Amino acid sequence: MSALELIDIRKRYGSVETLKGIDLSLADGEFLVLLGSSGCGKSTLLNIIAGLAEATDGDVRIGDRSVTGVHPKDRDIAMVFQSYALYPNMSVARNIGFGLEMRKVAEAERIAAVEKTAKILQIENLLARKPSELSGGQRQRVAIGRALVRDPQIFLFDEPLSNLDAKLRMEMRTELKRLHQMLGTTIVYVTHDQIEAMTLATRIAVMRDGQIEQLAAPDEIYNRPATRYVASFVGSPPMNMLDCTFADGLAHIDGTLSNIALPAHLHEVAAAAHHITVGIRPESLTLADASNTKFGIDAKIEVVELTGPELVVTATIGKQRLTVSLPPRSQVSVGTTQRFAIDVSALHVFDRATDKRI
Ligand SMILES: Nc1ncnc2c1ncn2[C@@H]1O[C@H](COP(=O)(O)OP(=O)(O)OP(=O)(O)O)[C@@H](O)[C@H]1O
Ligand SMILES: [Mg+2]
């Protein structure tokens, strides 16, 4: 049985099609992240799952029951919104339990559920406080608590961490992961933060312009991106994309005399495409030394930045940009031409005509 199934979901606002046919099926206990840039339709899709917006076409099934036309409160879902307004005059305990109060759950049962939830979120000692007496991270936990107290079939999160500072975000991210591991609930989580997606998801749906561009486990998304778009969306610094022309087993980098030897299994398809993009992650490049200077690409160093754990080098190769992540103590100087060795097992090749992986 699937926890959630979306069948050809479409949404139209006037003449604009915001969702262009979304299909997916989620197993029980999965943590699905909808990842994509602003305006691609993530919130629209989440709201359709929640029943807060109506699809123009298609069917939503929760636990093998069609919920199309079913009121949000009868869908057995709980949602945490990006802007989670807490009731300022109510205590934390009452904020968490308010949904249950509305549903006329008996007081003893309500108190027990609130206490259990507070314990999971480690805010038991804050139950008597008002929201104004909490830190941002604590407030966020209360907002999550309001959803958690309900024990629904599916949790829906819409960018729940986006208004926290970087450090708190990271802490809450770990908390969420721990929660998911502990409770094993099914979650659909919207974000445009690729790190959040990579760390939290069991599967990521990369969305673009109302469609799912790739739906796969984080490892697959990172190591075998299906399109050039997915490849450049996930990873920081982003993957280098070198426009090349393929001939005789070599990807000739446009505007230069440099080339990259492609693995034999790619030759036939690369030859058919002819114009290709070679994707190289910044961490797949190293300084060429005496043992490997023969193979590699020469680039002119423009900027060197120490981020702490790594040295990020920006260089140019012909008119194209190359970013390289090196160990912090690497010797490179601005203005010089440096040869970089490539880990060819980590190359990504895309057809320039279709932007699809070959
Ligand atoms: N009620 C509406 N009427 C008309 N257009 C809408 C409406 N709601 C959303 N849209 C449009 O649909 C598209 C998708 O919006 P949506 O809110 O789903 O994006 P999103 O992926 O959640 O973006 P963000 O990351 O900025 O929150 C946008 O182009 C938006 O302008
Ligand atoms: Mg949104």
Q: Supply 183's token pair.
A: 């409770």
Q: Which atom of ligand 1 is nearest to the CA of 14?
A: 4
Domain boundaries, the chain: 4-232, 237-351
Q: Which two tokens stand for residue 333?
A: 């100087």
Distance (Å) from CA 13 to ligand 1 centroid: 10
Question: Residue 111: enclosing H or E segment and its boundaries?
Answer: helix 107-120
Report whether residue 284 contacts ligand 1, using a CB cutoff of 6 Å.
Answer: no
Q: Whose CA is nearest to atom 26 of ligand 1?
A: 38
Residue 215 and residue 203 in contact, taking contact as beta carbons nearer than 8 Å: yes
Dihedral sign for Cα atoms in the order 57, 60, 61, 65: negative
Topology agreement, domain 4-232 and domain 237-351? no
Second-level CATH architecture of 237-351: Beta Barrel (2.40)
- pTM recorded for the entire structure: 0.91
Reading the block at residue 35, the tokens are 């990842």
Q: Which residues of the chain have pLDDT under 50?
A: none
Closest residue by CA, ligand 1 atom 27: 38
Going by their DSSP bridges, the two strands 211-216 and 203-208 should be labelled as antiparallel
Q: What is the CATH number of domain 4-232?
A: 3.40.50.300
Q: How far apart are CA 324 and CA 315, in angstroms?
A: 8
Residue 357 pLDDT? 97
Q: For residue 293, what pLDDT is reported?
A: 58
Ligand 1 atom closest to the CA of 36, numbered from 1:
21
**Per-residue pLDDT at 137:** 82
Say what the pLDDT of residue 164 is: 78
The residue whose CA is least distant from atom 16 of ligand 1 is 41
**Residue in 78, 49, 53 with CA at minimum distance from that of residue 62:** 49
